[in-house]
């Protein structure tokens, strides 16, 4: 983060010192500076986003600086707080740092205090640019189960332990944050769910969590549409739901040869991957249940000029039954295949 992009809030009740402080910071290259002459005024301005707060300690009350630190902590703000005071004491310094202040600087120190302040700001920016916001990271880890339920397969932007936006594309998400004029400093971006690229996956053999299908409903041997093939795809999805999850790749043969989606797309009225995706979603809704679609992520890649589809399936907390031709069927993964089990075995499995 460049110095000119850092947003500062200066809290100081001495007008003369405030003006001197502001001039020095501008000389150092800071261009976004707001001011407040009391802790009360600063508290109101905390509704805006600031990267760094620089606060005097003694203002309307002797411990006014602590009010700023407490407000930042109470609101879970990501702002860095630096105490800059002429009434420095060891107890105040210890308390400020224990409460979460980044630094505690005495106005009475030898040398140029403004240079020391500038260095402290730069060190804070460098630290968080390198290590990120630990509080946000911890919050994501602690709430990962809920986040996976709501944002699986998406990038999320977290500010102050709150998801403020999400998108499947990180670049799009970053642009959305910029357009909303939200502060990028200390914003944590995280992808919920680790999806390996299709190009990387097709180099692997089938396994309990990976299976290939040449097509969704095109019969390669008979060279025409065969809707019964849909059930084969749904069996694998149901088996993944009932086991440990996995990825089904459509458009790739068992031996890894790329077949593509061209034949499947030719069977659709719009001949595009959006309709192909919607077809799979509709099949899941009709045959397995609409509630399971939140556990399914459908994505596409073009490899060697051919479109390939990956259906990523997350393990379900409840059992998924599939409507077969005559009855409800229950599938699990057994090695690299999807196996149907009958009622007694279902009971033992559960």
| 224 and 345 co-located in one domain | yes
Specify the pLDDT at position 131: 67
| pTM for the model | 0.58
| 217 and 146 co-located in one domain | no
Averaged pLDDT for residues 227-247: 95
CATH number for the domain spanning 262: value is: 3.30.950.30
Averaged pLDDT for residues 223-237: 95
| 184 and 203 co-located in one domain | no
| 152 and 205 co-located in one domain | no
Of 169, 164, 168, 171, nearest to 188 by C-alpha is 164
Q: Inform me whether the pLDDT recorded for 129 exceeds 80.
A: no
pLDDT tens digits, one per residue of 148-193: 878 888 899 988 788 989 998 889 998 888 777 665 566 888 888 8
| 246 and 315 co-located in one domain | yes
Specify the pLDDT at position 287: 96
| 18 and 72 co-located in one domain | yes
Q: Structural domain of residue 140, as residue ranges?
A: 134-191
First to last CA, the chain: 53
d(CA 69, CA 48): 16
pLDDT tens digits, one per residue of 17-70: 999 999 999 999 999 999 999 888 999 988 887 889 999 888 877 778 888 888
Report in angstroms the alpha-carbon separations of 144 from 138, 191, 271, 298.
10, 11, 37, 21
CATH number for the domain spanning 48: value is: 3.40.50.2300
Averaged pLDDT for residues 262-266: 95
| 34 and 57 co-located in one domain | yes
pLDDT band at 135 (very low <50, low <70, confident <90, very high): confident
Q: How many domains does the chain have?
A: 3
| 127 and 138 co-located in one domain | no
| 84 and 227 co-located in one domain | no
Averaged pLDDT for residues 107-129: 90
Q: Say which residue, 195 or 103, is predicted with more confidence.
A: 103
Specify whether the CB–CB gap between 84 and 54 falls below 8 A. yes
| 227 and 322 co-located in one domain | yes
| 254 and 334 co-located in one domain | yes
pLDDT tens digits, one per residue of 58-95: 887 777 888 888 888 777 677 889 999 988 889 889 98
Domain boundary at 111, 131, 151, which? 131
d(CA 300, CA 72): 43
Domain boundary at 191, 208, 224, which? 191
Q: Within 13 Å, how many C-alpha atoms sit on residue 34's CB side?
A: 19
| 141 and 127 co-located in one domain | no
């Amino acid at each position: 983060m460049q110095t000119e992009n850092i947003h500062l809030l200066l809290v100081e009740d001495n007008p003369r010192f405030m003006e001197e402080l502001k001039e020095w910071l501008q000389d150092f290259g800071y261009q976004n500076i707001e001011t407040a002459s009391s802790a009360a005024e600063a508290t109101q301005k905390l509704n805006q986003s600031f990267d760094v707060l620089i606060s005097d300690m003694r203002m309307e009350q002797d411990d006014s600086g602590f009010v700023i630190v407490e407000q930042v902590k109470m609101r879970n703000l990501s702002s860095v707080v630096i105490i800059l005071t002429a009434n420095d004491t060891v107890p105040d310094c210890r308390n400020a740092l224990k409460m979460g202040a980044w630094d505690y600087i005495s106005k009475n120190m030898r040398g140029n205090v403004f240079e020391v302040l500038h260095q402290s700001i730069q060190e804070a920016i460098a630290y968080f640019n390198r290590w990120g916001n630990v509080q946000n990271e911890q919050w994501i880890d602690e709430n990962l189960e809920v986040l996976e339920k709501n944002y699986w397969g998406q990038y999320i932007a977290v500010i102050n332990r709150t998801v403020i936006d999400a998108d499947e594309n990180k670049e799009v998400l970053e642009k959305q944050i910029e357009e909303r004029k939200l502060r990028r400093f200390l914003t944590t971006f995280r992808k919920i769910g680790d999806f390996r690229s299709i190009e990387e996956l097709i180099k692997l053999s089938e396994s309990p969590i990976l299976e290939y299908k040449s097509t969704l409903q095109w019969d390669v041997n008979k060279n025409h549409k065969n809707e019964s093939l849909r059930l084969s795809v749904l069996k694998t999805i149901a088996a993944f739901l009932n086991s440990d999850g996995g990825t089904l790749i459509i458009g790739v043969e068992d031996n890894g040869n790329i077949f593509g989606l061209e034949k499947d797309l030719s069977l659709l009225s719009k001949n595009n991957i959006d309709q192909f995706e919607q077809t799979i979603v509709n099949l899941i809704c009709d045959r397995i249940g609409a509630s399971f679609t939140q556990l399914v992520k459908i994505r596409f890649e073009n490899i060697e000029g051919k479109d390939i589809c990956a259906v990523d399936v997350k393990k379900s907390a409840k059992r998924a039954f599939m409507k077969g031709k005559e009855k409800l069927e229950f599938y699990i993964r057994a090695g690299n295949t999807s196996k149907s089990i009958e009622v007694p075995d279902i009971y033992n499995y559960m």
